[in-house]
Each structure stands twice: as structure tokens, then as C-alpha cells.
Amino acid sequence: MSDILILAAHPDLAQSRVNQAMLRTARDAGDRVQVRDLYALYPDYSIDLPAEQAALADARLVVWLHPIHWYGMPALMKLWVDEVLSFGWAYGPGGHALRGKDLWLVTSTGGREESYRPDRYNRYFFDAFLPPYDQTAALVGMRFLPPLVLHGAHRVDAAELEAHVQVFGERLASYPDWPELAELVAHTECDVPSDARPATHEEV
């Protein structure tokens, strides 16, 4: 049974040697890992909500594997969050489907690590762009694990890429026996009242 679910979201995977290498490693990781390539599954952006929620059911670890685009996630990944993590299922009254699971962001940036500083063109340390991920996890009762980030993805050489991919594979194989997890406090869901449900399209 798969207890690790990898949601891959790269809009131009054929051009990404980093994400291709990561996906090869994920697919070679054995039966405990299920990979869902969102852009391959949903080229028309019409997400199969029951299928996605069913895929989440048995997972202990949910991996979001995607590049950082304009300081956030690619469009289809954001749509997946909007539609799949629904009120009454993932959060809000009765929404406990993801309680106790782990969320791991595995991502890459075009800019080098040193570009994420107050005195450089990205103006903030990279961690400043992570609160939306952490809060999404908190809202649905998941634990947000320390991200795995490859900076300067366009420029890494073969040895750097191989080392990064090796860490990724080792982490998948050893989960949940990561030393740092013992020190992480599990989130409890944020208390979202029933009248705080999202507005429908007709209401806005």
C-alpha cells in the first residue's frame, strides 16, 4: 500500500532536467510511493476531485513537488489546493480527512540561494515565501516538514543535481525516520466556524 503521495506539478516537465530526475527517483522508490503528475492528468485543468481525495486517503506523507513560479506554486497546483482541500472535507466542521498527515514541499528556484537576501533582487530570505504553505498545512491539521529546496536550478551541474536527487530518494526511503521530525510539533486544525465557508461564484 502506498503511504507516500507525490503530487508533481511542472507546466513544462520536458524542459526540466531537475524535475525529470526527481520524478524518476520517485517512481523507482517502490510500492509505497504513488506519483501523480498533475499536468499530465489534467491538461485541461479539470481536476477529478473524488480521485484526488481518494489518493490522499492512505497517504501519511504528501509531497508537493514543483518549481517556484513568481514566489509561489504553479497555477495547476494552486487550483488543486483550491478545489481538493475543500470545506467540510479538509477543514471546517467535519473536515478532518488530512488530520495527522505530513506535508513536505520539495521545490526548486531559478535564482541562486544568495539572491534571496534583503540586499539582492529577491529582497527576502527564501523562508519568507513559505508561510502560505505552512498555514495551509495548519488549516487542515497537517504537519509542515522542513522543505527540500534546490536553488539556481538552471545552473546546477550534474554532480550537484545527483547529490540533490540522492537526498530526495534517501528521504523517501527512510520516512518517517527523519531525526528532525521528533522535534516537530504536530499541527491541530485551525478552528474554522461553519459560517466561514468559502463563497460560491454566485455570491461574489
Looking at the 3D structure of the chain, how many domains does it have?
A: 1
pTM flag (> 0.85) = yes
Domain-located, residue 126: yes
Peptide bond into 11 cis (omega under 30): no
Per-residue model confidence (pLDDT) at position 199? 64
Residue 152 CA to residue 113 CA, distance in Å, equals 7
Distances (CA, A) of 1 to 55, 59, 131: 11, 9, 32
HEC assignment per residue over 29-55: CCCCEEEEEHHHHCCCCCCCHHHHHHH
Domain that holds residue 116: 4-192
pLDDT tens digits, the chain, 204 residues: what are they?
Answer: 679 999 999 998 778 888 899 899 999 888 899 999 999 999 999 999 999 999 999 999 999 999 999 999 999 999 999 999 999 999 999 999 999 999 999 999 988 878 889 999 989 888 999 999 999 999 999 999 999 999 988 898 999 999 999 999 999 999 999 998 888 876 666 778 878 777 665 555
Domain-located, residue 198: no
Domain-located, residue 202: no
Domain-located, residue 201: no
Domain-located, residue 92: yes
- Cell 513544462, residue located: 12
Residue 125 CA to residue 150 CA, distance in Å, equals 14
Residue 155 CA to residue 138 CA, distance in Å, equals 34
Domain-located, residue 199: no
Distances (CA, A) of 194 to 28, 88, 139, 149: 43, 9, 14, 36
Cell output for 150 = 534546490
Domain-located, residue 68: yes
Q: What is the CATH number of the domain that holds 53?
A: 3.40.50.360
Domain-located, residue 204: no
Distances (CA, A) of 49 to 1, 19, 80, 139: 21, 25, 9, 19
SS3 137: helix
